[in-house]
Amino acid sequence: MTKILVVDDVEDNIVLLTFDLEDDGFDVEPARSGQECLDKVAAEKPDMILLDIRMPGLSGLETLEILKSDEATRMIPVIMVSATTGDQSIIRALDLGAHDFVSKPIEYPVLAARMRSALRLIQAKRDLEKANKELERLATRDPLTGINNRRSFFKLAEAELTKTIRHGRDIALLMLDADHFKMINDTYGHAAGDEALLTITEICQNACRESDILARLGGEEFAICCPDTNLEGAYAVAERIRQQCENTVIEHNSASFGITLSIGITTFVPSQDKSITEMLQRADNLLYQAKEMGRNRSIA
């Protein structure tokens, strides 16, 4: 239900408006002053505010200015209610970000039409925000696991590396690859393989800090960038993940099987590394060694 905060210092005005608004199916919340409006806006999260201009204490304009300067309330559409048609403060109100205005005495059908217009606008804005979020997700996330994709990994890890270099701190990189993954697909089917990728993702997520950047680089290859982490710390993370995988049984349909990981670990070498690419190359070489040495191991 659409919630409307009706702000007016005169009780009769609130009562009359509430009657019409509720008749139209709106949920009405009254406020008898600018201050009460500000207090209620946080708690009630109205979809729209009808704001009287002339009020003792905080005026409608002052209230509007506060609403529009606060990130949390800026987007709520405000329709000003002015005492007379020639009210100069209407211009000020529109400049401050009011969506629209109506004059007293209120002709309810006109107000209702203006409210519908404001609600259409706010809906369009919401749809746009949602579409933008979805685009952002598609561009940065791996569709199967929901973690960062390769592109997002490089972007985030490069930014982290720049920060680390500036502050002379540590940064570590892990490269992980599932062992004999082709065999899992061939034996249990592709869907079981996908299930294994989800299990690996979850194990990595649980082993990581909030500040670590976890990504699926492609296929059955994952990478983790760990800021403020030295080789010892990174090795501990790798081993935690590797052992957890080794000890996890994956169930898919009636099959149950295990999965192991080979992991290459490296830290930033100032004399060699210009970017994440060099670090990743080194981690990949170490990963290859781990495979050569019999898989299911971490090599730093």
**Of Mg ion, ligand GH3, none, which one does residue 239 interact with (CB within 5 to 8 Å by kind)?**
none
Please give the angle made by the CA atoms of 264, 267 and 268, to the nearest 5 degrees.
135
Looking at residue 265, the DSSP 8-state letter turns out to be: E
Interacting stretch for Mg ion, rule CB under 5 A, among 114-122, 169-177, 187-195, 252-260? 169-177
Q: Which stretch binds Mg ion (CB under 5 A): 50-58, 97-105, 114-122, 234-242?
A: 50-58
In this complex, which beta carbon is closest to Mg ion, that of residue 83 or of residue 119?
83
Beta carbon nearer to Mg ion, 8 or 160: 8
The C-alpha torsion from 68 through 69 and 73 to 79, rounded to 10°, is -10
Q: Looking at beta carbons, which residue is closest to ligand GH3? A: 193
Of the chain, the end-to-end C-alpha distance in Å amounts to 58
H-state helical runs in 168-274: 181-188, 190-207, 231-246
* Partner touching 185 among Mg ion, ligand GH3, none, CB below 5 to 8 Å by kind: ligand GH3
Q: Is the peptide bond before 227 cis (omega within 30 degrees of 0)?
A: no
Q: Are 267 and 280 in contact (CB under 8 A)?
A: no
Q: Is 150 in the site for ligand GH3 (CB under 6 A)?
A: no
Q: Which of 224, 204, 203 is nearest to 214 (CA)?
A: 224
Among 101, 153, 154, 181, binds Mg ion (CB under 5 A): 181
Q: Which helix (H) or strand (E) holds 10?
A: none
Neighbouring C-alpha atoms within 13 Å toward the C-beta of 286: 21
> What track of x and - describes contact with ligand GH3 for positions 160 through 199 (by CB under 6 A)?
-----------------xxxxxx--x----x--xx--x--
**For Mg ion, which is the closer residue by CB, 164 or 242?**
242
The tokens describing 48, both together, are 């729209």
Task: Summarize as ranges the residues that interact with Mg ion (CB under 5 A).
Answer: 9, 52, 54-55, 177-178, 181, 220-221
Task: Summarize as ranges the residues that interact with ligand GH3 (CB under 6 A).
Answer: 144, 177-182, 185, 190, 193-194, 197, 219-220, 291, 295
